[in-house]
């Protein structure tokens, strides 16, 4: 890819959030790239409300200081689509969890841009 090129892609394939802060997706943002997150899709498969926590970090979880979502309630059997313009730099990745493992699925779509 040439400098400035961007590829629309699924940055994080459908993944079930666990009950502990866990890295989402298979990789960190590559060197000389940025990810521009355009949508975060959250699906609660449980019949009761669940809370979601998402953050940005590099090699370790950043705790509450790196969160861009803290305790977002998702109604039972509901889907939330968040339109965003979050930028992750080289070495960054997404982290997240739900208040109950195996209840909330996440998919993240956006651009992989070459610098």
CATH of the domain at 110: 2.60.120.340
- The pLDDT of residue 27 is 79
CB count within 10 Å of CB 75 equals 13
How much is the mean pLDDT over the chain? 90
Q: What is the mean pLDDT of residues 16-43?
A: 92
Our separate counts of H helices and E strands in the chain read: 0, 8
pLDDT over threshold 80, residue 17: yes
**CB atoms < 10 A from the CB of 76, how many?**
12
Strand duo 22-24 + 93-98: pairing: antiparallel
For the chain, the domain total comes to: 1
Residue 38 within any structural domain of the chain: yes
Whether residue 1 lies inside any domain: the answer is: no
Establish if 81 belongs to a structural domain: yes
Element of type H or E holding 46: none
Residue 65 lies in a domain: yes
Range of the domain at 82: 6-114
> So what's the pLDDT on residue 94?
92
């Amino acid at each position: 890819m040439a400098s400035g090129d961007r590829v629309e892609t699924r940055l994080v394939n459908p993944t079930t959030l666990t009950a502990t802060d866990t890295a989402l997706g298979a990789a960190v943002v590559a060197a000389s790239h940025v990810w521009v997150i355009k949508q975060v899709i959250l699906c609660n498969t449980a019949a009761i409300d669940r809370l979601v926590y998402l953050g940005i970090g590099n090699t370790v979880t950043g705790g509450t200081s790196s969160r861009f979502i803290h305790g977002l309630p998702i109604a039972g059997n509901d889907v939330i689509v968040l339109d965003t313009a979050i930028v992750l730099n080289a070495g960054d990745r997404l982290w997240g969890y739900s208040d109950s493992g195996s209840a909330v699925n996440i998919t993240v779509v956006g651009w992989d841009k070459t610098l």
